Amino acid sequence: MDQKDRPWEKIYQTVNRVSPIPKEVWKKSEQLYTIRKLEYGDFLIKQGAQPTEFAFVFSGVLREYYLTDQGNEYIKSFNFPGDFTGSYFDLLTEQPSTCNIRAITDCELAVAKFSEFRKLFSQDIAWERLGRIFAENLFLKKARREYELLALSAEERYDLLLESRPDIEELVPQYHIASYLGITPVSLSRIRAKRKKD
């Protein structure tokens, strides 16, 4: 990405929508980021490795997933342009990553060291407030995901996914969508066929 395009401005706009932060305060964080490109199949974070970075997605799609000892894959979320991604639980606990974060398409990211970002919290109340709101949003996202998996049918989960992300079937393969919904690709095909009939 051409630096003339001011890529950090995209990050600032996203952050500012979460929690307003003065531009002069934000400027201190720009030096933390570096541009990184991932090709299809590349890992940002590997399960079992020590995570140290988080990233902002400029372009492309990534998936966050767990891989069991039996080789079964369970997708917990997708990351689209404008999203932040990182194994936050493991970054906070400083433990080996419990999940993989891997590119579904070619991606362009802004990557930063989490330890350097956390140092900003003590420099201005705006950073501390941002960190708190991000943590609250992650908790809400996790609670919503648990509710959907435990209380809703696969068809209801599919409807909610399409409602929140109408373009997902153009961006993400069907077998990944099925994994995210907690069903088999065959079950997803049946749901899609039923919707077309209705």
pLDDT band of residue 4 (cuts 50, 70, 90) is: very low
Specify the pLDDT at position 93.
86
Q: How far apart are CA 80 and CA 56, in angstroms?
A: 9
What pLDDT shows up at residue 92? 84
72 pLDDT above the threshold of 80: yes
Angle, CA of 33, 85 and 71, to the nearest 5°: 130
pLDDT-derived band at 87 (thresholds 50, 70, 90) equals confident
pLDDT tens, residue by residue, 98-119: 999 999 999 999 999 999 998 9
pLDDT tens for residues 119-176?
998 888 999 999 889 889 888 989 999 999 999 999 999 999 999 999 999 999 999 9
Q: What is the mean pLDDT of residues 27-39?
A: 91
pTM of structure: 0.88
The torsion region of residue 131 among left (phi > 0), alpha (psi -120 to 50) and beta comes to alpha
Residue 167 vs residue 4, higher pLDDT: 167
Among residues 107, 95, 117, 96, which one has the least CA distance to residue 63?
Answer: 107
Give the tens place of pLDDT for each residue, 16-28.
Answer: 998 899 988 998 8
**pLDDT at residue 125 in the model:** 92
| 7 or 41, greater pLDDT | 41
Find the helix or strand (DSSP H, E) in which 49 lies: none
Count CB-CB contacts under 10 A for residue 136: 11
The Cα 198–Cα 195 span in angstroms is: 5
Per the structure block, which two tokens stand in for 156?
Answer: 């209801």
How far is Cα 23 from Cα 45, in angstroms, rounded to an integer? 30
